[in-house]
Structure 1
Amino acid sequence: MRVKIRLILLILAGILLVGDMARAENGYELWLRYAPVTDVALKAQYQKSVKNIYFPAGSDRLKVAHDELYRGLSSMIGLSPAQKTISESELVIATIDKIGNLRKYVPDSIPAKIGTDGFLIKTITTSKKNTILLTANSDLGILYGVFNFLKLFQINSSLAALNIAEYPKTMFRVLDHWDNPTRTVERGYAGFSIWNWHKLPGYIDPRYIDYARANASVGINGSVINNVNANTIMLTPAYLAKIKALADVFRLYGIKIYLSVKFSSPVELGGLKTADPLDEDVKAWWKAKVDEIYRYIPDFGGFLVKANSEGQPGPQTYGRTHADGANMLGKALAPHHGIVMWRAFVYDDKVPDDRAKQAYNEFKPFDGKFDANVIIQVKNGAIDFQPREPFHPLFGALPNTSVMLELQLTQEYLGFSTHLVYEAPLFKECLNADTYTAGPNSTVEHILEGRYNPKLITGMAGVANIGTDINWCGHPFAQANWYSFGRLAWNPGLSATKIADDWLRMTFTNDHHFIEPMKREMLQSRENTVNYMTPLGLHHIMGANGHYGPGPWTDNTGRADWTAVYYHKADTNGVGFDRTRTGSNALAQYSPQVQKYFEDLSTCPDEYLLWFHHLSWNYRMRSGKTLWDEMVEHYYRGADSVKHMQLVWNLMEKYIDHDRFTQVKELMAIQHDEAIWWRDACVLYFQTFSRKPIPDNFEKPLHNLAYYRSLRIPNIPGQGIN
């Protein structure tokens, strides 16, 4: 009997040990896991550095920050610091006006530098004792500072000689949810909408609080909670009461709620005969509606508007301009300090021109005509969140108009939530692009930071990839896109490498045997996907039904600019969209330096070649290969790279928990199969025009072209019904 008992105890001890080494996880905690620090020496240093704390938590927001600090420290180092006076504490957390004689350690330039949302974390020496001072101008700055202080523990940073002064480089850092009242999510691939409208306002799901925590931890300060293809029900009193309940939760974390509104709401909801923005009754209706919203939500952020695009109503419906429509709403919001985010994603199939030119053509003439509280929301590229696009020509073309960058976190054109695609390199590609509009180094990043016109409001928006899946984003690595958006909206100058390193450490482990190989795979993952989907500047060749899978043959969707053939223009002579002066001349919308760079084949990067040029299949590439051989090689390289990613991931099993390892492994298998599907379908299709063989060193496609063209995939996710 004793032998059996001992054996059982040994087995239990083994189970507990394994549980400590790799605890079962489901991804719900995101990058806020606050995993125990395993380095003994580092843990001891941390415990000593925060043994006693001064943190008066007077306001509700400071109480949130206080609780977050103790939650993190308790979990990571097993310590709940004792509350002491300033002079007795190793850690002092308070706003600048409440730190007493420690104010002399704060440089005079700091309060103005960090502004309302920024913070200072600094090691100071008082009476031969080191003290960490975390201070800010506001309670919100303290909250952001606490999250960043906890991050130092999460990524195993030293707490010695700290001198961190951070502040957001953009004003409005907003998640755009394309969620419908029915709880479907347009282009959502992680389950249903997290907003349970039926149970609101009475029931506050704890998930709402964790959503707000996650956003605040990366500096996101706004949430548009409904689809840009808006439903007027969101403006009714019943729903405003529900929205108020969410706003009450988000407020503690510094997050304002915004609503997408339908331009025709005065007609559909108000019973007016017109929504003409110059009509006095229409102006009065919007003013009354805005006043009503602010009675429910005093700190309401404002409106997001999709107008005169893809069938949505707008001011052009009444012969008015985008400026007329945006300014009408802006004037209704201005007394309450609200803003209008007016989307530049506009195109009309009746305009006989390159779709890439339409947004510029419609907005450039009105530069300087928009009110001060109107900001034009511009996608990173001129088409539609493609795997790769050159930067949008509107960046730099509106020097007297507020502009914000719109990015898509949900992977509508990047394999949904089954493909591992770290999007920060895509975001940085746009941010680092030089527009030359104010001379060299006039990057998109600098424009968004307001360097050239300080009077303008600034911001970034990200189309959310969040749903009811327990891990929020469907794919564990898709969480990195939410995280990286927040980090880049706060500071567009951060590197994709640093963001990936931090996220991996916070989300999985600090073990460098895991960090280094997976960081390399993350940084390469977007390029892998471009290679097996749309190499060399190809774009918009996905399946027409739900944008899932390849569809380069798509040629009949009811309008030309929804087809693939409109964009790749493949024929026996060659492939690619000529946007030079011999074609659509879309390049004329860029500065002369950018025009020259992309128009000259000797300088145009291979990555954008077929975006700007229609070239012969025999065109000689920089590699010495023909265009056809180069294209085939990219497609095969992309699929092979996913196989390599699988091999690397399989070596990571011993460093992380079993559940997430298995989930990623299975999703990578799906991604590999779909990469081969993309590769084979596209190579076979374009071969019908090139009439050239697939080089012998590549395996032949699994099926013929007719097979791929015959595929029909039912119930594709992300096609939300409003």
Structure 2
Amino acid sequence: MKNKTIALLTILMLLCVAFTPPAHAEDGYRLWQRYDLVNNSDRLKEYQQSIAEVVIEGNSPTLSVAKNELNMALQGLLGRTIPSSSRQTQSSGALVVGTPASSATVASLKLNNKLKNLGDEGYLIQSATINGKKSTVVAANTDIGALYGTFHFLRLLQTHQSIQNVAITSTPKIKHRVLNHWDNLDRTVERGYSGFSLWDWHKLPDYIDQRYIDYARANASIGINGTVLTNVNANALVLTEEYLIKVKALADAFRPYGLKVYLTARFSSPIEIGELKTADPLDAQVQQWWKDKAAEIYRHIPDFGGFLVKANSEGQPGPQNYGRTHADGANMLADAVAPNGGIVMWRAFVYDDKVPDDRAKQAYTEFKPLDGTFRKNVMVQVKNGAIDFQPREPFHPMFGTMPKTPLMMEFQITQEYLGQGTHLAYLSPLFKEVLESDTYAKGKGSTVAKVIDGTIDNHALTGIAGVSNIGTDRNWTGHQFGQANWYSYGRLAWDHTLGSAEIADEWLKMTFTNNNQFISPVKQMMMGSHEALVNYMTPLGLHHIMGWSHHFGPGPWIKDKQRADWTSVYYHQADENGIGFDRTATGSNAIAQYLPPVQKKFRNVKTCPEKFLLWFHHLPWDYKTESGRELWNELAYRYQSGVDSVRQMQQTWNSMERFVDPERFRHVKTFLSIQEKEAVWWRDACLLYFQTFSKRPLPQGVEKPAHTLEYYMQIDPKFAPGI
């Protein structure tokens, strides 16, 4: 009896252990780097047979990182510890990682012809026979390339792809692939909706938080190679010695992952922290101050990437304060960092204290005359559209019209105008829409992507930036699906030819499950989410009709502010005759900033894509749209369609409960409920307001608003982020 009791207790203890939840819930912290056991038996058997050991020769910090990542990942994915060594010993297959310089095994494969075109960051993954044993090789010219290849190899396993007879080569199409953190030194984040800044300046440089390492791992896994730590609305203090010591600690932690550190430079720093009386870029003392400051930074951080600058915009100081040009300011800073290989990313998001005839025209007007006057280590960083990260904008007219200047794309990953922290909006389709737009710079096929990757004008200096959506929230991005926007930005920055559906497929499999009963419907949900948001916020080319200052919620009635271009009525131009901003020759003529073939398409209301109709044209309420409906009815149906799409997203997600852990399922379900409520708010508020001009009833099938226009106009979102 005693033995039976002991046996029963033992069984109960084992059952308790088996069903004890993990120490950390599935809260999203692991992002897409979830290395759980492969649950496809055929693939698991293939992987276990193919990877009996990991062979990495060399012990550089980066190769050590690769080895540690593989040890952790393979133990989880394959369900057993895979031995690591500096030479192949087993009778079965091995995974060999390295470069011809670091690995005698890789060198023996004579891969030089295949590697010579892969540059410093490219890699190959291929099956090979080594000493009579079938193996897999991840090879590159540099250790960083080998690390990128390692993450690609792990992606193959995570997405259950065969590694038999594999032959992959990959090299980045854009050189500088950067995250822009709009983080303030007090750890608040401008337009941040996922907590506070990651950078704990109080504990730096002594304490390197594990989040810093995991941040670097995540970025390396998708090929991001630069991070701007601080807000473009810059604080000069970050350039002082006490902060540079802390920045150095981050740079040291990031370096093995190929992640360079950049800083924002406040143009008035020579005055604010340098005790000079001027910041004039043509002043010899100012020039010397910046050279000395750059030298000081490089003493701390030998591979410092350079400066990002916002100047003469939204009250920020700049060269125009002294009657100088943007090129004068950028070139001064470029000369300061050039001896150490640094670059300057000079933002083209500008507008001064005088209201132009059209806000959309100002950046082109200021920068186009400067084409060809910037130093060779300067890139002009241009937002994807000419206004300000709207839910949808036509591509910025500067792309394709400044052939002598490298232009750097700036996307916004954080969802300032896209529902902020609670709306599911997969942004890869937005990114792709812009990248695939044809500028006609060198004839048909001269896409924006080919402008920024240097193909069109043979620029060697190329770059892309994404305004970060990362914060201290446990899941990094606030919304679980916000992770997909960080991921897709990185993947497109590496290879802009990838498809949005392909990237969504990868992310879903790595983040949730490989089960196609989950993947197929949720991928479809993701792919339609951006269009849904555009429809319930700003359909048919409407733009900038959000809440005042914080940009949260609808506010098409906003007027009578300090500047006309800070109001909504400036942009939608609604009146009893119609709606829309006339940017043709009869209006602001902003359309003339595009090259002739693009002008021709946008100018003609019949050839202008309907998604940009009210961006370029002011049209009467009874204008016949492509559907055959009058404009007012089409507008109303678009708003209703957006709400209906969110409700369909809710139904899709609710049916996925059996595939998702409880915590993440509940998180997304709750946020979709918030999104549906706010989509209805947008629809009702906007249609009631625009109805005061159209004076037409809502068409059949469009739900009647629950409240009056006055009710919506009096809503005061006290708790909206950014207030």
TM-score band (shorter)? over 0.9
SS in 1 for 2:295: helix
Structure 2 match to 1:189:
193
Deviations 1:559-617 (A, max 9, x none): 11110000000000000001111111111111111001111122111100000000000
Structure 2 match to 1:463:
467
Question: 1:543 touches 1:549 (CA, 8 Å); kept in 2?
Answer: yes
The residue identity in structure 1 corresponding to 2:416 is E
SS in 2 for 1:411: coil
The residue identity in structure 2 corresponding to 1:387 is P
SS in 2 for 1:96: coil
Structure 2 match to 1:451:
455
Q: How far apart, in 2, do the equivalents of 1:4 and 1:480 lie?
A: 50
Structure 2 match to 1:28:
29
- Choose which of 491, 496, 519 in structure 2 pairs with 1:515: 519
Q: How far apart, in 1, do the equivalents of 2:540 and 2:213 lie?
A: 43
Q: How far apart, in 1, do the equivalents of 2:565 and 2:670 lie?
A: 36
Q: How far apart, in 1, do the equivalents of 2:502 and 2:703 lie?
A: 37
SS in 1 for 2:679: helix
Structure 1 match to 2:261:
257
Structure 1 match to 2:540:
536
SS in 2 for 1:47: helix
Q: How far apart, in 1, do the equivalents of 2:617 and 2:703 lie?
A: 29
The residue identity in structure 2 corresponding to 1:27 is G
Displacement of 1:160 in angstroms is: 1.0
Structure 1 match to 2:79:
78
- Choose which of 670, 674, 680 in structure 2 pairs with 1:666: 670
TM-score (norm 2): 0.96
Structure 2 match to 1:278:
282
Structure 1 match to 2:178:
174
Question: 2:356 touches 2:362 (CA, 8 Å); kept in 1?
Answer: no
The residue identity in structure 1 corresponding to 2:422 is T
Deviations 1:221-246 (A, max 9, x none): 11100000011110111111111111
Q: How far apart, in 1, do the equivalents of 2:20 and 2:704 lie?
A: 45
Tell me, yes or no, if structure 1 residue 142 matches structure 2 residue 146: yes
Displacement of 1:172 in angstroms is: 0.5
Question: 2:121 touches 2:148 (CA, 8 Å); kept in 1?
Answer: yes
Deviations 1:268-302 (A, max 9, x none): 11111111100001101111111111111111110
Displacement of 1:203 in angstroms is: 1.2
Alignment of 1:177-256 (within 5 A): 177-256=181-260
Deviations 1:391-444 (A, max 9, x none): 000111111111110000000000011000000000000100000011110001
Q: How far apart, in 1, do the equivalents of 2:102 and 2:271 lie?
A: 52
- Choose which of 606, 609, 612 in structure 2 pairs with 1:608: 612
- Choose which of 105, 115, 121 in structure 2 pairs with 1:111: 115
Structure 1 stretch displaced more, 349-358 or 138-147: 349-358
Q: How far apart, in 1, do the equivalents of 2:230 and 2:550 lie?
A: 20
Q: How far apart, in 2, do the equivalents of 1:362 and 1:697 lie?
A: 47
Tell me, yes or no, if structure 1 residue 345 matches structure 2 residue 346: no
Structure 2 match to 1:45:
46
Question: 1:94 touches 1:142 (CA, 8 Å); kept in 2?
Answer: yes
Displacement of 1:5 in angstroms is: 9.6
Structure 1 match to 2:387:
383
Displacement of 1:378 in angstroms is: 0.4
Question: 2:31 touches 2:511 (CA, 8 Å); kept in 1?
Answer: yes
Question: 1:223 touches 1:255 (CA, 8 Å); kept in 2?
Answer: yes
Q: How far apart, in 1, do the equivalents of 2:134 and 2:710 lie?
A: 72
Question: 1:189 touches 1:416 (CA, 8 Å); kept in 2?
Answer: yes
The residue identity in structure 1 corresponding to 2:49 is K
Question: 1:544 touches 1:557 (CA, 8 Å); kept in 2?
Answer: no
Structure 1 stretch displaced more, 36-45 or 647-656: 36-45
Question: 1:349 touches 1:561 (CA, 8 Å); kept in 2?
Answer: no
Q: How far apart, in 1, do the equivalents of 2:425 and 2:84 lie?
A: 44
Deviations 1:119-176 (A, max 9, x none): 1100123565322111100010111111111111111110011111111111111100
Structure 1 stretch displaced more, 440-449 or 386-395: 440-449
Structure 1 stretch displaced more, 594-603 or 3-12: 3-12
The residue identity in structure 1 corresponding to 2:619 is L
Question: 2:127 touches 2:134 (CA, 8 Å); kept in 1?
Answer: yes
Taking a change above 3 Å as real, the CA distance of residues 148 and 277 of structure 1, as seen in their structure-2 partners, is same
Structure 1 stretch displaced more, 614-623 or 593-602: 593-602
Taking a change above 3 Å as real, the CA distance of residues 17 and 27 of structure 1, as seen in their structure-2 partners, is same
Displacement of 1:78 in angstroms is: 1.8
Tell me, yes or no, if structure 1 residue 430 matches structure 2 residue 434: yes
Displacement of 1:474 in angstroms is: 0.3
The residue identity in structure 1 corresponding to 2:571 is Y
Structure 1 match to 2:445:
441
Question: 2:98 touches 2:146 (CA, 8 Å); kept in 1?
Answer: yes
Q: How far apart, in 1, do the equivalents of 2:185 and 2:111 lie?
A: 50
Structure 2 match to 1:618:
622
Question: 1:24 touches 1:658 (CA, 8 Å); kept in 2?
Answer: no
Q: How far apart, in 2, do the equivalents of 1:58 and 1:435 lie?
A: 47
Q: How far apart, in 2, do the equivalents of 1:517 and 1:15 lie?
A: 35
Question: 2:53 touches 2:82 (CA, 8 Å); kept in 1?
Answer: yes
Q: How far apart, in 2, do the equivalents of 1:127 and 1:264 lie?
A: 63
Structure 1 match to 2:58:
57
Displacement of 1:556 in angstroms is: 2.3
Displacement of 1:8 in angstroms is: 11
Displacement of 1:202 in angstroms is: 1.3
Gaps of 5+ in 1: none
Taking a change above 3 Å as real, the CA distance of residues 520 and 8 of structure 1, as seen in their structure-2 partners, is farther
Q: How far apart, in 2, do the equivalents of 1:97 and 1:468 lie?
A: 39
Question: 1:23 touches 1:657 (CA, 8 Å); kept in 2?
Answer: no
- Choose which of 119, 126, 129 in structure 2 pairs with 1:125: 129
Q: How far apart, in 1, do the equivalents of 2:20 and 2:360 lie?
A: 55
Alignment of 1:445-594 (within 5 A): 445-594=449-598
Displacement of 1:713 in angstroms is: 1.0
Displacement of 1:261 in angstroms is: 1.2
Q: How far apart, in 2, do the equivalents of 1:585 and 1:476 lie?
A: 42
Deviations 1:18-59 (A, max 9, x none): 969x99400000001112101122111101111033212311
Q: How far apart, in 1, do the equivalents of 2:688 and 2:134 lie?
A: 67
Alignment of 1:675-714 (within 5 A): 675-714=679-718
The residue identity in structure 2 corresponding to 1:222 is G
SS in 1 for 2:116: helix
SS in 2 for 1:476: coil
Q: How far apart, in 2, do the equivalents of 1:633 and 1:60 lie?
A: 57
Q: How far apart, in 2, do the equivalents of 1:263 and 1:126 lie?
A: 57
- Choose which of 156, 165, 169 in structure 1 pairs with 2:169: 165
SS in 2 for 1:603: coil
- Report % sequence identity: 57
Deviations 1:526-582 (A, max 9, x none): 000000000000000000141000000000221111100000000000000011111
Gaps of 5+ in 2: none
Structure 1 stretch displaced more, 449-458 or 634-643: 449-458
The residue identity in structure 2 corresponding to 1:257 is V
The residue identity in structure 2 corresponding to 1:194 is L
Displacement of 1:13 in angstroms is: 3.9
Displacement of 1:492 in angstroms is: 1.1
Tell me, yes or no, if structure 1 residue 314 matches structure 2 residue 315: no
Structure 2 match to 1:332:
336
Structure 1 stretch displaced more, 61-70 or 450-459: 450-459
How many residue pairs align between the two structures? Answer: 718
Displacement of 1:3 in angstroms is: 10
Displacement of 1:658 in angstroms is: 0.6
Question: 1:401 touches 1:456 (CA, 8 Å); kept in 2?
Answer: no
Question: 2:56 touches 2:103 (CA, 8 Å); kept in 1?
Answer: no
Taking a change above 3 Å as real, the CA distance of residues 101 and 668 of structure 1, as seen in their structure-2 partners, is closer
Structure 1 stretch displaced more, 617-626 or 194-203: 194-203
The residue identity in structure 2 corresponding to 1:422 is Y
Q: How far apart, in 1, do the equivalents of 2:622 and 2:252 lie?
A: 62
Displacement of 1:106 in angstroms is: 5.2
Structure 1 stretch displaced more, 450-459 or 663-672: 450-459
Question: 1:372 touches 1:456 (CA, 8 Å); kept in 2?
Answer: no
Displacement of 1:6 in angstroms is: 6.3
Structure 2 match to 1:66:
67
Structure 1 stretch displaced more, 222-231 or 72-81: 72-81
TM-score (norm 1): 0.96
Structure 1 stretch displaced more, 124-133 or 256-265: 124-133
Displacement of 1:16 in angstroms is: 3.8
